[in-house]
Structure 1
């Protein structure tokens, strides 16, 4: 995908400001082992990260190893993840992904997108999260915050996750892409909210491309 040097320069400017505002931008999901991030990410579908963290603090004690998830009584696992919603589907896919991880990959999380996508319940968003956080590879996690705010900034135009990922990969410095996505999540919660964004407090005011919000900033 061809993009202008001007847009790439803008992306660097955005990253520079976010690095200043959010110098530490860890993943909002709590985990200690790579497979735990995989499980937490699966639970986060249609659920807040805050609620997932509450659940996994107990879940990872109840099931302390990858093998324990693979061997778990499915009904008990369903009850353990019930607060995250869609608990039957999530419990089933968690057990299946853990079994495949053990049977096919020797318990080691794969380090390629193609292999990660073979795990039950893992889509591109989760696969990119794992590649970026576990292996430090360039990755773009196109969650709702990333798509919404990148659109407002004019760094991407698509509302479709895969297309937005392609657009952002073309403009973001690869070594900063994963960190950008974590920073944008926090920025979206703090300032650039879906409704009633705090434009007057926005450190990215001068880079915003959304006319409705730039007008609000000027008029406000």
Structure 2
């Protein structure tokens, strides 16, 4: 399954039309009291999600991200489009979001970018895009003899191994496909914690539309 996603999120405050600006009628947040202007949930499976939040304090706007999975996430993000805002920090980057304390648990919010509102009498707008996947690229693997993913004593042929030309590309390049009959128990190959599940992946087939199953 490919875990990299590309999603565009729109802020709750759309930008003014070029020929007719409408006053921003909501009261400004007090400089000493931040206000949540926008929130969005993405990359959601059983076990966690990514949460994006935009906080405003006076004329300062801060884009945050938080990881609810029990493992770190690496995310490439960008804010390529914005209106009525001046960037105070870079508008793109790569960040590792720390793991939550448990599946769907709590974790630290990290700042992605900060902006200054040009004219607080009018609405502001920004778009954010991202790609994310599980893991921390700074982690280093340990040598480990993995068990086979089915009960001891059974033997099955390998249909497709590493770098298989049919579907083992990208995040699946080191996958191994075994020729097992339906209802064969699938076992963990080493001790660990299930971090996410996707009950929607019920399809099967040999054509391109099934590459993510």
Asked whether the two chains share a fold, i.e. TM above 0.5, the reply is no
Higher helix share: 1
Please state which structure has a larger fraction of its residues in strand: 2
The higher radius of gyration belongs to 2
The TM-score range, normalised by the shorter chain, is under 0.3
